[in-house]
Structure 1
Amino acid sequence: MDITLSPRASGKYISSLAKYIKINDGEVEKTALKVVDLLQNHTISLSKISEDDLCPTTSDEETINWIFVVDTLNFCFWSSGTENWNVTWKGKTYSGYFALCAAINRALSEGYSVTDPKFYSQISIRDLKTIFRGDNELISIPLLNKRLDCLHEIGLILLEKFDGKFSNCVLSSDHSAKKLLQVIVDNFPCFKDESNYKGKRVSFYKRAQILIGDLWTHFKGKNFGFFNDIEELTMFADYRVPQVLAYFNILEYDEVLMDKLKKGVILESGCEEEVEIRGCTIHAIELINQKVKGILTNVVENISENNDNDALVCNSILLDHYFWNYRRQHRTEVENIPFHKTLSVYY
């Protein structure tokens, strides 16, 4: 078990042996046709997912630091209770990932140097609790101590190896998403999102890939966001996109797994069911992406594979954002399908 499969190879391998999940090829085809329509009317595009009122508006070193910290902490926002962790900032209430972003921005406005590794490498649990205080003081952000560990880890490594700047990691990749992914997972253990599955070492690298994806989307494929191989990234295997794929019947769970999800059973990180959910999600998105590109080649003569915002470009990052946002826009309907619950720093 020496070689670790890439996320794309892992998804293909896991889906080929999956016991609890099947990918519905017919629904993959139907969804691909819908995605083509959404690409043509620009509902799905790089410029659309660059619209985020919480992300810094600048494109500088501080923005890179902000993205790095946010994606270090971008995991496990679900609550076992009836009320979620929410943060109100500038008159607007946020939950989940957006509550994280709002809390970071609020902390910066209050004078906390929360994007500076000199600060967060030594941050106390008391300060972190204050920074991530929610609207309801009885409900805190999940896994607070794990988040403290992650910040200490990345801060110390950034200071020791990269002169305290994540931009040095980015520059070392020479505009290669694949190379930057390796730099991240080789140097920052909390990003090394891997599991064992039926005799092989598989990887998902959700947060590492979304970190690169966020650079690409925020910088709109230019400067620090220009990668000549952005297609190397897969979707970001979390707990929301599988829920949407199951809602669309793209993923079909067997009765045993669905029963566990309906009962709210917490799946252990790395267990067979959890690995299959994440792996099959990656492969399903890959299949949709392949179908979309096949259709597009018959629609237009030249499909741009670069970062031209006006071109009909489809990749796994754009598809991930589409499905993730679909859940937010149709949460009432989608919530009829349970999402899988795992306590993990990886997603």
Structure 2
Amino acid sequence: MSNAKLNPRQSGAFIVEHAQHVRIIPAGIEKLTQEIVKGLKEKRIAVENFSQHELHPNPNTNQDDYSKAADWVFVLDTLNFCFWTPNNYTKYKVDGYTGYFALCAAIKRAIKEGLDVINPKFYSDIDLKTLKSIFRSDDGDTEIPLIEKRLEALHEVGKVVIEKYDGKFENIIKKAEKSAVSLLNLIVEEFPCFRDEAEFAGKRVSILKRAQILVADVWSCYRGQGLGYFKDIEQITMFADYRVPQVLVHFGSLEYSHELMEFLKSDTILENGDPREVEIRGASIYIIEQVRDAVIKVLQEQHPEISLDNVNSIVIDQYLWDYRRQHNADLEHIPFHKVVSIYY
């Protein structure tokens, strides 16, 4: 067993090379490339989309909000995992929102109610009763999944930020010295709850969905400027979850073996680290990296008027994640792999 850990891009390529349950289809990658180029031309794909959402922090309101936005993003991504439960398909909703946006709505509601939820002094020793109140659902009955795990995550990260970084996530960002890779490595080293890795075909692979999305959300929130400027942002890959693969199958870039498709249709829960789960997630990373490279080539050759500064796997992932929500009815027939996990 090799101890050398592959980064997410290397992991995606290695996983695809050794995959037994998934197949990459070049024609589907080409189709997806054209979709992304079209989205960029029509300005539907843009870094601004993140901070324009009403539930996301906006660092540009005033000076006080500037660094607070980083703390807000940090709390969101510490809690950004698993919004479904295998034994209860009643969707968790807050202010009519489901999934990740229900989380955002709950945090925003708590801030409006005067709770200092983005301050590690508050959340590093928050109790379960308070957390349950913060995440109360519209129906009053449906609980956000894995509430105890969320409590553990907040305690874990809060204590580290207080003890080592003067209570500000901004100080971790600054320690990375404008390197997205350095920030990613810092997050994974400092906070075990972000350490999304697996053993696969004799190697240690890293998927790092939430750690990467945290770096990406800082970049997106600040629109790649100031605190959000990273000289190597293109090193961040997509965020391998259970929803984007549905879009990849829909576009014909990802194909499951007959056995895997039947398994997914059976609604059986996979263990985190199962080779089938790792293959789906690794293939997702690989495909989006291929698409990104192809998109850049098309833009360079055919659309020199489009700046490449903000064309990366982050904006492609954000677009595909939104695409899945917007085309839910068309994609719902494609089964997704079900894992109860803190990693996505």
TM tier relative to shorter chain: over 0.9
| Deviation for aligned residue 1:138 | 2.2
Q: Partners of 2:35 and 2:305 in 1: how far apart?
A: 20
Deviations 1:199-251 (A, max 9, x none): 00000111111111111111111011111111010001111111111122211
Q: 1 CA distance for matches of 2:264 and 2:277?
A: 11
> What is the rounded CA distance, in whole Å, between the counterparts of 1:48 and 1:126 in structure 2?
34
Partner Cα distance (2:68, 2:46) in 1: 25
1:316 is displaced (CA, Å) by: 0.3
In the TM superposition, residue 344 of structure 1 has moved relative to its aligned partner by 0.7
Residue number in structure 2 paired with 1:32 = 33
* Equivalent residue, structure 2, for 1:319: 316
SS of the residue 2:338 aligns to: coil
Name the residue aligned to 2:118: 115
> What is aligned with 1:70?
76
Contact 1:79 1:85 in 2 (8 A): no
Structure 2 residue matching 1:279: 3-state secondary structure: helix
- Of 216, 219, 222, which residue of structure 2 is paired with 1:213? 216
Match of residue 281, structure 1, among 259, 263, 284: 284
What's the counterpart of residue 157 of structure 2?
154
TM-score where L is the length of structure 1: 0.94
Q: CA RMSD in A?
A: 1.3
Query: Which residue of 85, 88, 91 corresponds with 1:84?
Result: 91
1:10 equivalent in structure 2: 11
- Deviation larger for 98-107 or 248-257: 248-257
Whole-Å separation in 2 of the counterparts to 1:117 and 1:33: 44
Deviation at 1:256, TM superposition (A): 1.3
1:20 is aligned to 21
Q: How far 1:188 sits from its partner (Å)? A: 0.7
> Is the Cα–Cα contact under 8 Å of residues 180 and 215 in structure 2 kept in the other structure?
yes
Higher mean alpha-carbon deviation, 27-36 vs 194-203, is at: 27-36
**1:91-240 equivalence runs, <5 A:** 93-240=96-243
Partner of 2:91: helix, strand, or coil?
A: coil
How far did 1:314 drift?
A: 2.0
Question: 2:63 maps to which residue?
Answer: none
Q: Deviations over 1:77-130 (max 9, x none)?
A: 123333110011xxxx11100000110111112222111111111010111111
- Taking the aligned partners of 2:107 and 2:39, their CA distance within structure 1 comes to 33
Q: Which residue matches 1:335? A: 332
Q: Distance in 2 between matches of 1:194 and 1:82?
A: 28
Structure 1 residue matching 2:269: 3-state secondary structure: coil
The aligned counterpart of 1:310 is none
Q: Secondary structure at the match of 1:50?
A: helix
Q: Distance in 2 between matches of 1:319 and 1:111?
A: 36
Could you tell me which runs of 5 or more consecutive residues in structure 1 were left unpaired when the two chains were aligned.
307-312
Q: Counterpart of 1:142 in 2: which secondary structure?
A: coil
Identity, in percent, stands at 47
In structure 2, what is the Cα distance between the partners aligned to 1:45 and 1:152?
34
Task: Using the TM superposition, give the Cα deviation of residue 296 of structure 1 relative to its aligned residue in structure 2, in angstroms.
Answer: 1.4
Is the partner of 1:145 in helix, strand or coil? helix
| 1-structure distance, mates of 2:256, 2:339 | 17
Partner deviation per Cα, 1:287-343 (whole Å, 9 max, x = no partner): 11111111112114476443xxxxxx4210011011100011111111111111101
Paired residue type of 1:28: I
Q: What amino acid is aligned across from residue 337 of structure 2 in structure 1?
A: H
